[in-house]
Amino acid sequence: MTLSRVTLGKIAFGWAIFLWSAGMVLLNLGSHTRAHPFVKAIIAVVDTLFLIGTPIALTSYFNRAWRLVATVPNRTAYVIWLSFESIAGAGLLGILAYATISFAIGHFR
């Protein structure tokens, strides 16, 4: 299945490239110029794909990590660390959802 090829590293690298390229495009625009509609469409499509891919990658990562709990030698430290990671991952998804919903509400009003 192609969803199993979506990894957390690929998504993080994709976000980095997307944010870097968006910064390069937006840096060249002045305050009175507008972006080309094609650029806006590409940014919207890529952002949507990453907003869909990020929860999938995080879910598969944490699913694999939590299944390894029974096999690690230092179970207590692993569970504590994985709990912190899970909370941070949920927080990241919450921030992404909040930013997306806030942008959509502000843009379509």
Q: Tell me: the pLDDT tens digits for 51-100?
A: 888 888 888 888 988 999 999 999 999 999 999 999 998 998 888 888 88
Quick check: 5 pLDDT over 90? no
Q: Which residue type sits at 10?
A: K
Give the dihedral sign, CA 27/33/39/45: positive
**Cβ of 89: how many Cβ atoms within 10 Å?**
18
DSSP letter string, 38-107: HHHHHHHHHHHHHHHHHHHHHHHHHHHHHHGGGT-SSHHHHHHHHHHHHHHHHHHHHHHHHHHHHHHHHH
| Triad 38, 99, 12: Cα angle to 5° | 75
